[in-house]
Amino acid sequence: MDIQDFCHLIDHTLLKPQATQQDITAICLEAREHEFATVAIEPVYIPYAAHLLKGSKTGITSAISYPHGCWSIDAKCREIEACLRHGASDCDYVIDLGALKEGNFKQIREEAKACRKATGNAIMKVILEVALLSDDEISAVCTICAEEGADFVKTSTGYLGSPTIDQVELMVKAVQGSATAVKAAGGFSTLERVNRALTLGVKRIGTSSSLKLLQAWGERNT
């Protein structure tokens, strides 16, 4: 893998609630320069980011029902539709964690199905928050999301703990044989940790440490 391929795997992330328009400008310019896959931002900044990224190879990931997943299905779908209308290319929604923890897999499936319909041809990533889940819950929700056509299952928001490498591996195994891939996010700030995830078969990395990772990549490969 060369540096360009590496950049194409990264969702360059800024999801701090105190982020300003100046901060958004900076990450969008960085993303244009390095051709990151997307910038991952809060919905309010999508129109502005779309303007800054027009004509570039970088898309826009919108965080949906972020960070706790407590929206109704209808609210998540409406948020997805609004974000796509304003220029998002990817939508990362947080699952209904309460429903999952009580074993309401029907709700999780209905949510995935409805969000897939709302997302249409755009990329849909489902955030699981694996630090709060058992191995059985992780496997079950990954299977459901794959069956409902998710493009990615994503480890974490980054707010409620980081995934272990074993949990990442479990997710990869759960979606094997499907069209669904794994996005690793939450604590992926070192090249060693990122490379371990990529070796397992992860296809996207969400990180706010993109530039740090590129510097480490350059130092390792020169």
Any idea which residues carry the catalytic annotation?
A: 92, 154, 183
State both tokens at 123. 């990329």
User: Residue 127 is which amino acid?
Assistant: I
Residue 37 in contact with residue 44, Cβ under 8 Å? no
Using alpha carbons, list the distances in angstroms from residue 26 to 33, 53, 86: 11, 12, 20
Other beta carbons within 10 Å of 202 = 24
Burial 96-118 (b: 16+ CB within 10 A, else e): bbebbeeeeeebbebbbebbbeb
